[in-house]
Amino acid sequence: MYIELLFLIFGLIFVWLSATITVDAAKKIAYAFNISEAIIGLTILSIGTSLPEIFTHIISSINILNGIESSGIAVGTNIGSNIIQITLILGVIALLTKVHTDKKILKLDYPIMLGAILLLFLFSLNQTIGRFEGFLLTFGYIWFLIWLVKKENVIERNPKKHKLHYFLNLTIGLATLLFAAKLVVDNAISLSTIWGVSESLIGVLMIGAATALPELTTALIAILKGSTKMSLGTLIGSNITNPMLALGIGAMISGYTIDSTILWYDIPFWFFISILAMLFFKEKMGLNKKEAIILILSYIVYAIIRLKFFAHI
């Protein structure tokens, strides 16, 4: 157990360090190409920080093809990561600093995020997500990404100044972020096995929280660097990337069986808490400390109910 704890701590340290490299490189790329930081957060950073979820889906789907049922781990990790991002992570960030947004994010990006959650719920009503539905989710995300990039006015500001260096730093940052997150997740799984935590709970709470670490650290670093829109864009982008791209890729490989608790408790909570966060933002285009505490407490209540009533389902 102590070895797993030690590796878990090392993983957390490397997640933080690699997040610093990633955000710095993303900001420089945004400046060089005249791309807004919000777009960088919604695309490069959201996909990069979602790599742990993507790889969790791929590995779980391969297990399913080999006769090892892993749908609960894959889907639970995805949804658990999204819930913790929109509640605990967003709340902690808002306690540390003022999180601002703009009308564009609320009128465009946020509704797309809500639509992705609703679409996932509708696809899950028969308690399965097949390969065709996985294809629709993945194709929908790719279409969204292409549309998002096309509508951005990309103009080179600094055509010859170390752009290759920026992309190299970004690649190193994301690669290290992935490695560090995997280190955290692997040892979190080992600890959960040692402590006897049920598999249903592992995906939603433990692995979901662990795979949300890149979003947390990247968002915090962005805040410290003065890029609040990049921070919010990363969280919203990840909440679009996870249910559409990550889950879509996994479902295309093997298809998933959806647990009834995930369908009727986790996804609805994720949807309604996301609406609550949006209403908070709409009032003053930002989150105050009281609203941040509400989001944090909502996650605590969610986790307690999940542990008490749905631990063995």
Confidence band of 291 (pLDDT split at 50, 70, 90): very high
Residue 100 clears pLDDT 70, i.e. is over it? yes
Torsion, Cα 172 177 183 188, to 10 degrees, reads 180
Question: Looking at per-residue confidence, does 57 or 40 come out higher?
Answer: 57
pLDDT at 112: 92
What integer is the mean pLDDT of 216-241?
74
Question: Looking at per-residue confidence, does 297 or 309 come out higher?
Answer: 297
Confidence band of 275 (pLDDT split at 50, 70, 90): very high
- 3-state SS, residue 151: coil
Instruction: Give me the percent of the chain exceeding a pLDDT of 70.
Output: 84
pLDDT tens readout for residues 143-198 = 988 887 777 655 555 555 556 778 888 888 888 877 877 777 777 667 667 767 66
For 166, half-sphere exposure in the C-beta direction (CA atoms, 13 angstrom radius) is 18
The dihedrals phi and psi of 66, each to the nearest 5 degrees, come to: -90, 10
Residue 47 clears pLDDT 80, i.e. is over it? no
Domains along the sequence of the chain with CATH: 2-309 (1.20.1420.30)
**Average pLDDT, whole number, for the chain?**
81
Question: Looking at per-residue confidence, does 181 or 303 come out higher?
Answer: 303
Q: Full-prediction pTM beyond 0.95?
A: no
Q: Contact at 8 Å (CB) between 48 and 182?
A: no
The amino acid occupying position 14 is F
Burial of 58 (0-12, 13-18, 19+ CB in 10 A): middle
pLDDT tens readout for residues 15-35 = 777 777 877 787 777 777 777
